[in-house]
């Protein structure tokens, strides 16, 4: 018999819960993944707020009036900083002595420590098995990430900790793993002998969108590069695991992170570029801010497979288009073969489009239809696409099952902060930040950044 469980959502009235978690839980409920769920408890600190008001939030969130689904829910008022208010939660949880407790921290990052500490006191008197799910950002820098890890490990074992990176739950990201290790034709060329460089991009056409309080303290590097993009890099670059187990896969990802060439403080300008979109200060009512809304970094992985292959990571806001993608650019055809055609064909590419659609695109060169055998080939694409599946659905199912493969381990999180820490330190001491026009592809410096290597930024259709 499968274990029954209770889900407790801290931040149950917040935007993440309303926009993502409740719709996902409803989808899982309709597909019978919550058949063993005894209760879902939402917490919040709003005064004069009760069960009826909470049900209205659920209705607004899932756009459906489903009384049977709503009967799973209960609301508990808690001020997260006050340990005495956790007794309200304890009274409810004491009714579920056999269930596994899943605590989901859908709250601002500055609350994580106090929630974990207060939970630790509460759990001393409860015999239940437990899991804790923590949203990003996990820490603000290397020191804070280490501190948060130390605090959590005082109350939870590593196998009970689920550090979420929702990018890893995306269908196309997981297909990077499948494409490589299920097809010998791709794994055989997945190395420095054939690949010229790799671009990992998360481009947005919107701005901060009401997240100023969070974003201006964080910036593009912390918000996207340190976690999402570096995690994708590790998945692309990892060696085949010894077996299909969560720790074997995460071990290989950590090996990649440990192999990334260190960017020393004085080298930061050589390996990075940043920018801020025009009007950021006015849009957000700021008099001064050096927070980057665009960040680009070039990494090298110092191992046998990837020696000399640059990985370009970039992210930005208020750009010309929205696209999250991975583009594998292969080496140019040798000159001898180009002479046979009296032209130089473009490089072949494999593109993984993660957002706004799920696509895998293989671009190669073919002779134009009806032309001479000696005609210069043109780019031709083969495309696979799939339905979008909400990443949080995949991750919630894994949490329930206890599968940590797509979650970040303690050593992963600390190593990723260690990689970007010199960049954080340098940018903090350098007030010169280029401004780029809204609706552009970023600062001119970003184009120069890749052109100096004889390459250009790529985009998928």
- CATH number for position 224: 3.30.360.10
How far is it, in rounded angstroms, from Cα 148 to Cα 131?
16
What's the whole-number mean pLDDT along residues 160-172?
A: 91
Lowest mean pLDDT among 170-174, 248-252, 436-440: 170-174
With bands split at pLDDT 50, 70 and 90, how would you rate the model's confidence at 374?
A: low
Peptide bond just before 45 cis, omega within 30 deg = no
How far is it, in rounded angstroms, from Cα 88 to Cα 344?
71
pLDDT at position 338 over 80: no
Q: Which residues are registered as beta bridge partners of 44?
A: 77
- Looking at 135, 154, 181, which one is the last position of a domain? 135
* 460 in a structural domain: no
pLDDT for the residue numbered 71? 96
Average pLDDT value over all residues in the chain:
92
Block residue for tokens 């130390």: 150
* 404 in a structural domain: no
Joined together, the tokens standing for residue 99 give 């269930």
pLDDT at position 165 over 70: yes
Active site residue 197: no
- CATH number for position 119: 3.40.50.720
Count of helix runs (H) and strand runs (E) in the chain? 18, 15
- Looking at 135, 159, 192, which one is the last position of a domain? 135
How far is it, in rounded angstroms, from Cα 352 to Cα 201?
10
pLDDT at position 316 over 70: yes
The reply to whether 90 and 14 lie within a common domain is: yes
Segment 6-39, tens digit of pLDDT: 999 999 999 999 999 999 999 999 999 999 999 9
The reply to whether 201 and 67 lie within a common domain is: no
The reply to whether 33 and 179 lie within a common domain is: no
How far is it, in rounded angstroms, from Cα 443 to Cα 438?
10
The reply to whether 336 and 271 lie within a common domain is: yes
* 434 in a structural domain: yes
Taking alpha carbons only, the member of 147, 102, 117, 168 closest to residue 324 is 168
Q: What is the dihedral of CA 90, 95, 96, 102, to 10 degrees?
A: -30
Sheet holding 310-316, edge to edge: 378-386, 358-366, 349-355, 323-330, 195-203, 310-316, 294-300, 272-277, 435-436
Q: Which residue has the higher pLDDT, 456 or 136?
A: 456
The reply to whether 232 and 349 lie within a common domain is: yes
* 49 in a structural domain: yes
What is the pTM assigned to this prediction?
0.93
pLDDT for the residue numbered 407? 94
pLDDT at position 339 over 90: no
The reply to whether 205 and 290 lie within a common domain is: yes
The reply to whether 63 and 202 lie within a common domain is: no
Q: Domain residues for 419? A: 167-390+411-451
* 176 in a structural domain: yes
Block residue for tokens 């001479």: 372
The reply to whether 385 and 442 lie within a common domain is: yes
Classify burial at 291, counting beta carbons within 10 Å of its beta carbon; exposed 0-12, middle 13-18, buried 19 or more: buried
Segment 413-427, tens digit of pLDDT: 999 999 999 999 999
Joined together, the tokens standing for residue 41 give 């408890």
The reply to whether 216 and 71 lie within a common domain is: no
pLDDT at position 347 over 80: yes
The reply to whether 54 and 194 lie within a common domain is: no
pLDDT for the residue numbered 441? 96
Block residue for tokens 């005609």: 375
The reply to whether 84 and 178 lie within a common domain is: no
The reply to whether 171 and 279 lie within a common domain is: yes
What's the whole-number mean pLDDT along residues 145-165?
A: 95
What's the whole-number mean pLDDT along residues 189-208?
A: 96
SS3 of 438, please? coil
Q: Which residue has the higher pLDDT, 211 or 64?
A: 64
* 224 in a structural domain: yes
Q: Which residue in the list 33, 166, 197, 228 is annotated as catalytic?
A: 228
* 193 in a structural domain: yes
pLDDT for the residue numbered 336? 63
Q: How many structural domains is the chain composed of?
A: 2
- Burial code of 148-175, b = ≥16 C-beta within 10 A, e = fewer? bbebbeebbeeebbbbbbbbbbbebbbb
Q: Contact, 307 vs 238, CB < 8 A?
A: no
* 398 in a structural domain: no
């Amino acid at each position: 018999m499968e274990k029954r469980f209770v889900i407790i959502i801290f931040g149950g009235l917040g935007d993440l819960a309303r926009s993502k978690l409740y719709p996902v839980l409803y989808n899982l409920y309709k597909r019978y993944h919550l058949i063993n769920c005894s209760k879902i408890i939402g917490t919040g600190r709003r005064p004069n707020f009760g069960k009826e008001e909470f049900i209205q939030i659920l209705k607004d969130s899932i756009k459906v009036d489903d009384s049977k689904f709503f009967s799973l829910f209960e609301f508990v008022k808690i001020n997260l900083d006050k340990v005495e208010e956790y007794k309200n939660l304890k009274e409810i949880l004491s009714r579920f002595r056999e269930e596994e407790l899943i605590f989901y921290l859908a709250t601002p990052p500055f609350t994580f420590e106090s929630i974990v500490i207060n939970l630790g006191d509460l759990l001393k008197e409860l015999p239940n098995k437990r899991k804790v799910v923590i949203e990003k950002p996990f820490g603000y820098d290397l020191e804070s990430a280490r501190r948060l890890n130390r605090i959590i490990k005082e109350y939870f074992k590593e196998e009970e900790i689920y550090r979420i990176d929702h990018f890893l739950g995306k269908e196309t990201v997981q297909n990077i793993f499948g494409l490589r290790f299920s097809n010998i034709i791709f794994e055989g060329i997945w190395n420095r002998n054939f690949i010229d460089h790799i671009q990992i991009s998360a481009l947005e056409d919107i701005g901060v969108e009401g997240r100023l309080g969070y974003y201006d303290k964080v910036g593009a590097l912390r918000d996207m590069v340190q976690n999402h993009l570096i995690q994708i890099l590790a998945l692309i670059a990892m060696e085949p695991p010894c077996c299909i187990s969560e720790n074997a896969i995460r071990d290989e990802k950590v090996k990649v992170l440990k192999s990334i060439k260190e960017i020393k403080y004085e080298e930061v300008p050589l390996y990075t570029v940043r920018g801020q979109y025009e009007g950021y200060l006015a849009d957000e009512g700021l008099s001064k801010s050096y927070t980057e809304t665009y960040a680009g970094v070039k990494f090298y992985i110092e191992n046998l497979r990837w020696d000399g292959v640059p990985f370009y990571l970039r992210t930005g806001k208020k750009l010309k288009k929205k696209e999250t993608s991975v583009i594998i650019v292969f080496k140019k055809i040798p000159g001898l073969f180009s002479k046979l055609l009296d032209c130089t064909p473009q490089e072949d590419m494999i593109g993984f489009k993660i957002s706004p659609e799920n696509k895998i695109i293989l671009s190669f060169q073919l002779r134009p239809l009806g032309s001479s055998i000696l005609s210069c080939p043109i780019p031709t694409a083969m495309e696979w696409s799939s339905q979008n599946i909400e990443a949080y659905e995949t991750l919630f199912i894994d949490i329930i099952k206890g599968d940590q493969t797509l979650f970040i381990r303690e050593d992963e999180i600390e190593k990723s902060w260690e990689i970007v820490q010199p960049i954080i330190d340098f940018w903090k001491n350098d007030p010169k930040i280029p401004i780029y026009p809204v609706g552009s592809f970023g600062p001119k410096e970003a184009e120069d950044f890749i052109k100096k290597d004889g390459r250009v930024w790529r985009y998928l259709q």
